[in-house]
Amino acid sequence: MINAIPGRDLHRFCWLHDDEIGSLSPEWNYLVGITTSVSSPAVVHFTNGGPWFGDEYADVAFGDEWIAHRREWLAATSIVRGRPSTLEPIKANGGEGYAAYLR
């Protein structure tokens, strides 16, 4: 089913009735900048933007962790592909962010 249904329908749980959808505890639905009752979330959702947007969101909660995990992923990906990678700041479409470059 996952490969046959558009992402928008998966996100809306279209195959379920409303009474079949439960709630998530705050540590599994932590919204950066919104949730205040959790000190150690299991999942972090950058609802209003994340560290990949550059300076505007550079100091967002858990942004340092996101960047560190991305760098680890890029390093692991480049090793698997046999090509080194770098994470470079960029400006595009009126905004700033980061781009991964494989060499």
For 27, the 3-state DSSP assignment is: helix
Mean pLDDT within 47-53: 86
More confident residue, 25 or 84: 25
Q: What percent of the chain shows pLDDT beyond 70?
A: 72
Mean pLDDT within 39-51: 88
Task: Tell me the pLDDT tens digit for each residue of 70-79.
Answer: 888 877 766 5
CB-CB contact of 51 with 67 (8 Å): yes
More confident residue, 96 or 34: 34
For 96, the 3-state DSSP assignment is: strand
Q: What percent of the chain shows pLDDT beyond 90?
A: 8
What's the CA gap between 83 and 87, in Å, rounded? 13
pTM for the whole structure: 0.58
